[in-house]
Amino acid sequence: MTSPGLEGLVQRTSGPQLWRRVFHAVTGVLIAIALTILDLPRATAVAIIGVVVAALGAIDVARLVDPKVNALFFSAFRHLASPRDARGLASSTWYGLGVLIAVALFPTRAAVSGVLVLALADPIASYAGRRWGRRAFLGATLEGTALFAAVAFGILAARHGPLVGAVGAVVLALAERLSWPLDDNLTIPVFGGAVVTAFGVLL
């Protein structure tokens, strides 16, 4: 159960959430740059990301157990939190977990591609869909989903060629829409890494 104070704080996070989208994009791009430039051994990268995810998870447990901690969270991160974070794992935790799994399972280049799609296609499509979307599609808007696919295609085609871009754009657009009960912050980098890796094996 949430307190009235918490409900008010949660409501303040509704809407287009522009700064949340910007933070989402910048975080993912910085992660992709770090993974590419530092070229850490996989075990080291997984360990570092794992520590971050564990810390985020601990914060989630604390705030979900104690409404006062949850209220503090929504007060401190009013421009970054989302209403759906109030009763479950925060989007940032799902984000970190998705990056962790992608880096652990797939080659760095493939994982980075999945992270970049998450970083750029997801927030651009989400913001545009909320602002200008008109046609309903799988719980969101057709316009937002089409924009997601277009951005995903651009990223994947530039890094791996048009065939990977086309297939990946369709797969990831559907993964983004059909993620429930998981979160698209988890499924997008994992499916992205999987698609790129599969084409690397097959071609």
Structure-token pair, residue 203: 């071609």
* 20-46 tens-digit pLDDT: 889 999 999 999 999 999 989 999 999
CA distance linking residue 107 with residue 86, whole number of Å = 34
Average of per-residue pLDDT values in the chain = 88
Give 199 or 18, the one with higher predicted confidence. 199
pLDDT tens digits along 143-189: 888 899 999 999 999 999 999 999 999 999 998 888 778 899 999 99
Position with higher pLDDT, 66 vs 1: 66
pLDDT at 10: 72
* β-strands 136-137, 140-141 pairing: antiparallel
| DSSP codes joined into one string, the chain | ---HHHHHHHHTT-S--HHHHHHHHHHHHHHHHHHHHH---HHHHHHHHHHHHHHHHHHHHHHHH-HHHHHHHHHHTTTT--GGGGGS--HHHHHHHHHHHHHHHS-HHHHHHHHHIIIIIHHHHHHHHHHH--SEETTEEHHHHHHHHHHHHHHHHHHH-HHHHHHHHHHHHHHHHS-TTS-HHHHHHHHHHHHHHHHHHH-
**pLDDT tens readout for residues 46-91:** 999 999 999 999 999 999 999 899 989 988 888 888 888 888 899 9
pLDDT of residue 2: 46
Token pair for residue 178? 């059909």
